[in-house]
Each structure stands twice: as C-alpha cells, then as structure tokens.
C-alpha cells in the first residue's frame, strides 16, 4: 500500500458558474451534506465539505453547477472569493492535470488516494452499517503526527516460511487515539526518500479491537508484512514495512489518523459478519473477531463466517489462536494454495463449497460482508458470488447495489 498519488497536491474544485446560475436553490436543497450555500449574489460550494457525489448535477436547470477548476489542495478558492465572482476564473495550465474531486482537506491526500484505490472494488460509495459506532477520524495530521511507543513486536508466521508477518503493538500513552475495528492508521517512516523529501505516510489496518490489544490501555496492534518484493515479484524493499518489522520494544513511531468511516463492524445483537481475506488483509478481521470473542459471554447471537487464504498454514497469520476458537463461535474456512501434494485452494473455492450458507448470509439483512487483502482476490470472489446467486435464481448485479446502499458490503484491497 505504498503508491503515492502522482498529483495528490492538486484537487478538482467544484464551483458554480455565476454567469448562468439563476439562484433557484435546487442545488442547495438537493445536496445531502449541506455543501452548498449562498449570499445575495452567488451560490457557492464549500470545498472542504463537498464529496463530489454529483447529486446536484442533474437537477440543476442551467448547467451552472457542472463547473470545475483544478486548484492546489491547500489553497482552494475560498467562499469569499466565490461570493465576489461575476464570472468563473479562467482555466489555467493546472486544469490540464487529471485530478480527483476536492473534498475534506483534513484527510491527507495520500490517504484519500489510497482509500480510493482500496475501495474501488465495491462498485460505489459504501456506507457504514447502521449500528456501527461513530468513528473518530483525522485526529492527527501528517504535519502534527502523534508519537507512539512500541510495546511489543512478534513474528506471526513460521520461521521457515518466506513470508514474514509481524504483530506490532503501539502504545499512545496519554495522547487520545480512539479507533474502531476496520479503521486504519498512518505511519510515517523516518528519514527521506531518494529525492531528499520526507517519506509519505503508509496506511495499516488496526488488528485489535476498540478497547485495545491490552484492554483498557491506550494501545493498538498492527499486522505488518515485511515487503521484499513488489507486486510483480521483483526485489523491492518496503520502506515502512521494514522499518516497522525491525522495531524493538521502546522504539518510537510517528503515527497519523485514524482513518476510515465506512469499513466498520455492526454492533447490534444478532448481526452476522462474513469475512473474506488473504494475508495481512486479516488485520481488520482479527480485530472484529477479537471484539466478538471478548463479548462471547453476552450471548448476543449472530454468526461469524471467515474465509481466509494463504499459501500454507505456516504463512497464515494468527493461525494458532484461530484454531482455538470454538466452532459454534466462528465458522472458519481456510484455503491454502501451496501445500505440497494437495490441490491448490483459493478463498473463492471455499466460498463455492459453502454456497448454501453464503447465499443465505448474502440475503440476510443482518449479515455484513467484508473483503480485505490483495487486489487479485477480488475478481475471484465476485465471480463466486455471481455463480452462487445465479444457481439460486438471483442476480449478483442486483444484489450488490442493495448491499451497498444498506451498508452491508465493504471492500479494501491493495
């Protein structure tokens, strides 16, 4: 997860053309998040609120609403400037650049870029489950990160495997850093890159439940894989992952965030969770499972179903603790693709084997579905869902939008 945006600095700012706007108020009325306001002269869009959902575009009778200019993300046109306009500013060279739509400046550009890539597979904007707790986001910016102290660093995978995954516990002392299962944090590796610039932050999912890896202490856990090659298998040394995997107890880490307000778990009794992951994509699943495990005695009902893929049992993080969980608490389906003398199994194969239950859960309004891991797993899982739906006389392409709008479908892949 370390591809910084090419033009993260540049944002597309949503504007309203004052020359053709007739002040009909339709846009302000339509906007679901009150990003549009007006004075006696102009209607204007708040750069830090607008999320570019486009709900206002087609209702506009004039087309004035469909106006965009590229700006430096740190210095968009202010409301005062927009109020004073009689015409839109001329387009500039900056406008030639491919840029993403404006939005909340407190979320760092790289976080936004990474999130956009990671959630692309959802097929639309996701909503948090209705019973999710309210997340805190952007408490600590890259310019003012919080210093965390390492209170533990353990290798999770067997020593004889090439995959080196660590469980790292960070303690925040007296600095507030509230997180929910499914949220991420940013880590800024020390030092500078080849161009002499400070490293950009890298994002990691939190692997511990909300009350901490060690309950009631201000700490959280990460699941970090030491990156030694890139996606194509060429040797590459991941700056942040190697920094993290090499940390010793007592070392300091610069942390930003938390981030993420939709990939969150449901909290209502009776809610079920289907989790599909590979490798370090298990981090949020571990957090949710652990949350549920600690509340097992409350007998809140609802099922947990896990599909978890790795090359071999030795490379599967949290393999040992997983094995100890009771079968009536969680329905575990492991898929190994590199076990000698056994046929290769991927998560989608296991999903197909459990078609009946999967279909039941897909259609259960109380079941929430989470997918996290490498981008490559996405298409296989979608195909499996498609087939399962078809063989039950349903259409995945109809089901998926419904899942999305009810906050039941969440993807983070990288």
Partner 1 sequence: MINYSELIPNNVGLSENKTLQRALEHWQPSYLQWWQEMGPDDSSGYDVYLRTAISVDPKGWANFDYVKMPDYRWGIFLAPQDGERKIHFGEHKGQDAWQEVPGEYRSTLRRIIVTQGDTEPASVEQQRHLGLTAPSLYDLRNLFQVNVEEGRHLWAMVYLLHAYFGRDGREEGEALLERRSGDADNPRILTAFNEKTPDWLSFFMFTFITDRDGKFQLASLAESAFDPLARTCKFMLTEEAHHMFVGESGVARIIQRTCEVMKELKTDDPALLRAAGVIDLPTLQKYLNFHYSVTSDLYGAEISSNAATYYTNGLKGRFDEGKIDDDHKLQANEYAILDVSGDRIVTRHVPALSALNDRLRDDWIADVQAGVDRWNRIPAKFGFDFRFTLPHKGFHRRIGIFADIHVSPDGRIISEAEWTHQHHKWLPNEEDRLHVHALMGPCFERGKFANWIAPPARGINNQPVDFEYVRFN
Cα separation, 304 vs 271, in Å, equals 9
Instruction: Tell me how far, at minimum, the Cβ of 70 lies from partner 1, in Å.
Output: 20
Examine the residue annotation and report whether 205 is marked as an active-site residue of this protein. yes
Q: Does 100 bind partner 1 (CB under 8 A)?
A: no
Q: Does 90 bind partner 1 (CB under 8 A)?
A: no
Instruction: Tell me how far, at minimum, the Cβ of 29 lies from partner 1, in Å.
Output: 8
Cα separation, 40 vs 110, in Å, equals 37
**Contact with partner 1 (CB under 8 A) among 3, 61, 296, 356:** 61
Catalytic residue among 163, 184, 205, 312: 205
Q: Which is nearer to partner 1, 34 or 175 (CB)?
A: 34
- From residue 322, give the alpha-carbon distance in Å to each of 81, 331, 386: 57, 11, 29
Cα separation, 162 vs 237, in Å, equals 14
**Contact with partner 1 (CB under 8 A) among 7, 49, 52, 66:** 66
Contact 157, 165 (CB under 8 A): yes
Question: In this structure, how many other beta carbons lie within 10 angstroms of the beta carbon of residue 225?
Answer: 19
| Sheet with 272-278, side-by-side order of all strands | 331-336, 304-310, 272-278, 367-373, 409-413
- Tokens of residue 215, six digits: 């309950």
Contact 106, 254 (CB under 8 A): no
Instruction: Tell me how far, at minimum, the Cβ of 56 lies from partner 1, in Å.
Output: 7
Examine the residue annotation and report whether 204 is marked as an active-site residue of this protein. yes
Residue linked to tokens 């969150």: 264
Point out which span in 51-59, 116-124, 219-227, 362-370 binds partner 1 (CB under 8 A): 51-59
3-state helix, strand, coil in the chain (%, to 5): 25, 25, 50
Examine the residue annotation and report whether 414 is marked as an active-site residue of this protein. yes
Q: Which is nearer to partner 1, 30 or 100 (CB)?
A: 30
Examine the residue annotation and report whether 24 is marked as an active-site residue of this protein. no
Examine the residue annotation and report whether 67 is marked as an active-site residue of this protein. no
Q: Does 22 bind partner 1 (CB under 8 A)?
A: yes
Q: Does 23 bind partner 1 (CB under 8 A)?
A: yes
Signed CA dihedral, 255, 228, 3, 192: sign only: positive
Q: Which is nearer to partner 1, 39 or 365 (CB)?
A: 39
Q: Which is nearer to partner 1, 66 or 387 (CB)?
A: 66
Q: Which is nearer to partner 1, 30 or 141 (CB)?
A: 30
Q: Does 86 bind partner 1 (CB under 8 A)?
A: yes
The footprint of partner 1 (CB under 8 A) covers 19-20, 22-26, 29-30, 40-41, 55-56, 58-59, 61-63, 66, 86
Catalytic residues: 204-205, 372, 412, 414
């Amino acid at each position: 997860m370390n591809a910084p945006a090419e033009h993260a600095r540049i944002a597309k700012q949503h504007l309203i053309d004052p020359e053709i706007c007739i002040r009909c108020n339709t846009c302000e009325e339509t906007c679901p998040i009150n990003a549009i306001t007006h004075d006696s002269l102009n209607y204007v869009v708040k750069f830090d609120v607008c999320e570019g959902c486009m709900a206002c575009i087609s209702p506009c009778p004039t087309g004035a609403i469909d106006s965009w200019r590229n700006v430096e993300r740190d210095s968009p046109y202010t409301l005062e400037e927009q109020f004073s306009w009689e015409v839109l500013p001329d387009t500039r060279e900056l406008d030639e650049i491919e840029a993403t739509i404006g939005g909340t400046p407190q979320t760092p550009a790289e976080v936004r870029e990474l999130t956009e890539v990671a959630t692309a597979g959802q097929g639309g904007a996701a909503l948090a489950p209705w019973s999710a707790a309210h997340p805190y986001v952007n408490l600590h910016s890259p310019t003012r990160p919080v210093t965390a102290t390492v209170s533990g660093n353990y290798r999770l995978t067997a020593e004889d495997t090439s995959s080196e995954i660590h469980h790292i516990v960070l303690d925040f002392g007296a600095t507030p850093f509230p997180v929910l299962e499914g949220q991420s944090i940013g880590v800024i590796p020390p030092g500078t890159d080849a161009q002499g610039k400070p490293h950009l932050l890298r994002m990691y999912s939190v692997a511990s439940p909300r009350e901490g890896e060690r309950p009631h202490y201000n700490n959280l856990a990460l699941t970090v894989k030491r990156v030694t090659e890139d996606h194509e298998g060429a040797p590459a040394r991941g700056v942040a992952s190697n920094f993290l995997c090499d940390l010793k107890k007592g070392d300091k880490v610069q942390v930003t965030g938390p981030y993420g307000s939709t990939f969150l778990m449901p909290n209502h009794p009776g809610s079920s969770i289907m989790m599909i992951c590979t490798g370090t994509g298990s981090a949020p699943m571990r957090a949710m499972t652990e949350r549920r495990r600690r509340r097992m005695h409350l007998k809140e009902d609802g099922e947990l179903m896990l599909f978890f893929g790795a090359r071999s049992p030795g490379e599967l993080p949290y393999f040992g603790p997983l094995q100890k969980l009771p079968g009536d608490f969680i329905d575990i389906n492991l898929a190994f693709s590199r076990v000698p003398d056994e046929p290769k199994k991927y998560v989608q194969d296991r999903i197909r084997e459990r078609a009946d239950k999967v279909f039941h859960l897909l259609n259960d309004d109380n079941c929430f579905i989470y997918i996290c891991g490498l981008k490559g797993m996405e298409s296989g899982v979608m195909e499996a869902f498609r087939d399962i739906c078809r063989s039950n006389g349903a259409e995945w392409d109809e089901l998926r939008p419904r899942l999305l709008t009810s906050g039941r479908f969440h993807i983070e892949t990288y």
